[in-house]
């Protein structure tokens, strides 16, 4: 029974995007496709342990979901034209494929799979949805994660995730969003929303915004998997390869970023021998593909180039900090943000010394662009400590610890504060 359940979960995780995409094309209704796919999954969890895993599990799931879709159309409008057409398409051969030992032919057109999954990504990341809804829907329908898994990853209640997904499907239906890859003239603009969702998912996995763990590897690796799918489906888009490169190069450091007890290990203290060299190789290859397209690197490609400087350096001291500064300056031109400015200040500190960087950080503090974030006082504390201004540095680290929501990062900040001179009595 447990083996059958694991089989259901494995097939769903690997093939759910294809199943939902094929059903959405088949029914012309994205919300219905996702619903009946979930119903088929629920039915499999009951029948496979009882009757045995079918010879062709994907065909079983798809045929079952198609029958559920027909039932839904029947309930909506007895024997209307659409139902009759769908029923005729669903011949006895496809019905047989839905039972153990049925036919072996996959019930979709293999030539359409890539376009179907690409359409699924664009629908799940449609601009009519809120950013939070895009993330939840992408993880659900493209990543194959359950509501419970998504809720656990983002530390929110399961009903909240379920409500987001339900509202997202209703919004897509109300807006009349077609299940289709956008026309070429709209695709590049819409691609930004897809990339942004995958970036948010990966970023949360690589450094959790809250909770007891520094990393959420399952979430990060799911984002990498989806980024690989997108890069394969959009081989002529440099930013698709740039995002994949950024994710691979960042994830390469995961094995060295935490100690045995889960404590955070800072970059300068990481054992680089533990870095995943295969991930670095894949990341550099993806960055090379982004560059070879010839349209220049965008925001994700530039961040990947910065990550490559770290990934290929023997140590922090031997990192090409001058190049890192230049890359951050370029990134600040194409995607300006206070976080980019703060990271550029860190690179300036490494390349030219802490005094030059402190004036940049102070400008950010005066502007109030990172108010409420623990990142600015963290960097300011580092710079002040390097300048020998220990009391001020301790105050900054203590402020950063109060603002930080991640336990492991907070522990690092408190250790830094404790290592400096105590305040006067």
Tell me the pLDDT tens digit for each residue of 331-341: 999 999 999 99
Rounded Cα distance between 78 and 71, Å, is 10
Q: Reduce the DSSP state of residue 389 to 3 states and report it.
A: coil
317: number of Cβ within 10 Å: 9
Which letter does DSSP use for residue 128 in this model?
A: T
Q: What is the pLDDT of residue 364?
A: 94
For residue 236, the Cα-to-chain-centroid distance in whole angstroms is: 21
- Dihedrals phi, psi of 171, to nearest 5 degrees: -65, -45
Residue found under tokens 């105590």: 422
Tell me the pLDDT tens digit for each residue of 117-164: 888 888 999 989 999 999 999 888 888 888 888 887 777 899 999 999
pLDDT surpasses 70 at 107: no
Q: Are 414 and 399 in contact (CB under 8 A)?
A: no
Closest CA to 242 of 257, 254, 230: 230
| pTM as predicted | 0.78
At 423, the pLDDT band (50, 70, 90 cuts) reads: low
121: number of Cβ within 10 Å: 27
Supply the DSSP string of 200-220, one letter for each residue. Answer: HHHHHHHS-SSBS-S--HHHH
Cα angle at 52 between 50 and 56, to 5 degrees? Answer: 135
Q: What is the pLDDT of residue 186?
A: 78
Q: Reduce the DSSP state of residue 3 to 3 states and report it.
A: helix
Mean pLDDT along residues 270-290: 97
Tell me the pLDDT tens digit for each residue of 48-106: 988 888 988 988 999 999 998 888 777 665 445 555 555 556 554 454 444 443 443 44
Q: Are 175 and 280 in contact (CB under 8 A)?
A: no
């Amino acid at each position: 029974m447990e083996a059958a359940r694991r089989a259901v979960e494995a097939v769903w995780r690997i093939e759910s995007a294809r199943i939902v995409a094929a059903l959405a094309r088949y029914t012309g209704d994205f919300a219905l496709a996702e619903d009946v796919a979930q119903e088929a999954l629920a039915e499999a969890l009951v029948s496979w342990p009882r009757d045995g895993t079918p010879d062709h599990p994907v065909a079983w799931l798809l045929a079952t979901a198609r029958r559920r879709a027909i039932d839904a159309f029947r309930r909506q409008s007895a024997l209307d034209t659409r139902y009759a057409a769908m029923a005729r398409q669903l011949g006895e051969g496809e019905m047989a494929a839905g039972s153990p030992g049925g036919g072996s032919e996959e019930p979709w057109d293999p030539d359409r799979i890539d376009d179907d999954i690409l359409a699924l990504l664009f629908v799940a990341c449609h601009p009519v949805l809120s950013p939070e809804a895009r993330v939840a829907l992408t993880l659900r329908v493209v990543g194959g994660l359950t509501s419970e898994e998504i809720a656990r990853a983002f530390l929110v209640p399961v009903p909240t995730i379920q409500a987001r997904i339900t509202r997202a499907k209703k919004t897509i239906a109300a807006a009349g969003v077609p299940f289709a890859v956008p026309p070429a003239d709209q695709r590049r603009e819409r691609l930004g929303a897809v990339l942004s969702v995958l970036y948010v998912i990966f970023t949360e996995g690589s450094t959790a915004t809250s909770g007891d763990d520094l990393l959420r590897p399952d979430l990060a690796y799911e984002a990498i998997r989806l980024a690989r799918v997108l890069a394969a489906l959009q081989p002529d888009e440099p930013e698709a390869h740039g995002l994949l490169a950024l994710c691979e190069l960042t994830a390469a450091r995961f094995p060295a970023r935490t100690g045995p007890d889960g404590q955070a290990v800072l970059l300068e203290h990481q054992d680089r021998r533990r870095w995943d060299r295969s991930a670095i190789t894949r990341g550099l290859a993806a960055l090379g593909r982004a560059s070879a397209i010839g349209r220049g690197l965008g925001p994700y490609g530039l961040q990947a180039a910065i990550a490559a400087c770290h990934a290929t350096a023997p140590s922090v001291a031997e990192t090409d900090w001058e190049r890192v500064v230049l890359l951050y300056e370029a990134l600040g031109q194409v995607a300006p943000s206070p976080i980019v400015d703060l990271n550029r200040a860190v690179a300036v500190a490494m390349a030219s010394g802490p005094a030059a960087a402190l004036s940049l950080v102070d400008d950010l503090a005066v502007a109030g662009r990172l108010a409420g974030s623990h990142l600015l006082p963290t960097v300011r504390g580092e710079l002040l400590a390097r300048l020998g201004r220990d009391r001020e540095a301790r105050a900054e680290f203590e402020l950063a610890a109060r603002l930080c929501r991640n336990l492991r990062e907070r522990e690092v900040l408190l250790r830094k504060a404790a290592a400096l001179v105590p305040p006067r009595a």
